Chain A
Amino acid sequence: AQKVTQAQTEISVVEKEDVTLDCVYETRDTTYYLFWYKQPPSGELVFLIRRNSFDEQNEISGRYSWNFQKSTSSFNFTITASQVVDSAVYFCALRNAGNMLTFGGGTRLMVKP
């Protein structure tokens, strides 16, 4: 069975602070995909990034960056210089050899002005 754990249920920061959202996963498969989604207060789910298990290269997209470490089964997400518009629930998800995507419980990020 696979599992995704987001231990931080809520994080509160002040605007312009950097913040890291943790994601730890469990799977027996050697081939898998990891995803991050954002759910703003309006409720929709927005895809942020996909990473496959063979690509441990970190990625940066503007103020967002992702650190994938197979050795620790982690796929952490950092927002640099956070903004109020970053306030949302962020979900990490894992897809292994099957067709099912397993979501973590989410981390609610609140960025205060």
Chain B
Amino acid sequence: NAGVTQTPKFRILKIGQSMTLQCTQDMNHNYMYWYRQDPGMGLKLIYYSVGAGITDKGEVPNGYNVSRSTTEDFPLRLELAAPSQTSVYFCASSVDSNQPQHFGDGTRLSIL
């Protein structure tokens, strides 16, 4: 039962570097989401997708990009890493927007 799989689990980046956080789900869910969780805080939505080829901004999209070429995959790209992007990133998926979201285990990203 894989569910939502995120890679990598941990990463350290230097300021200005770029990287892609991978997210894949095997539940055939249409909806997928990326959140960030800063220390001691709740989750904030970065981007979401309601199906392959469709993406939309969430609450905090600046500095990130996403794509959704397949139902299964929803990668999150950081182009020019900044210290403010140090956070734990969670990917989630759901059947539709009313159903519970299933979360991956998170990616802990530090930018130094």
Q: CB within 8 Å of B: which residues of A?
A: 4, 6, 9, 33, 35, 37, 43-45, 47, 50, 52, 91, 95, 98-106
| Chain B residue nearest in CB terms to A43 | B106
Q: Is the CB of B42 within 8 A of A101?
A: no
- Which of B43, B44, B45, B99 has the largest count of A CB atoms less than 10 A from its CB? B43
Q: Does B53 belong to the interface (CB within 8 Å)?
A: no
- Which of A9, A33, A45 has the largest count of B CB atoms less than 10 A from its CB? A45
Q: Is the CB of A104 within 8 A of B42?
A: yes
- B106 cross-chain contacts in A, Cβ below 8 A: 43-44
- B104 cross-chain contacts in A, Cβ below 8 A: 44
8 contacts between A and B (CB under 8 A): A6-B42, A33-B98, A45-B43, A47-B102, A50-B98, A91-B42, A102-B59, A106-B42
The smallest beta-carbon distance between A64 and chain B, in angstroms, is: 15
- A43–B103 CA distance with the chains assembled, in angstroms: 10
Considering the complex of A and B, which 7 residue pairs feature the smallest CB-CB distances, nearest first? A103-B42, A45-B103, A47-B100, A99-B97, A103-B43, A105-B42, A106-B42
Number of interface residues of B (CB under 8 A): 26
The smallest beta-carbon distance between B74 and chain A, in angstroms, is: 14
- B48 cross-chain contacts in A, Cβ below 8 A: 99-100
From B43, B44, B59, B97, contact of A95 by CB (8 A): B97
- A79–B89 CA distance with the chains assembled, in angstroms: 28
The smallest beta-carbon distance between B104 and chain A, in angstroms, is: 8
Q: Is the CB of A101 within 8 A of B33?
A: yes
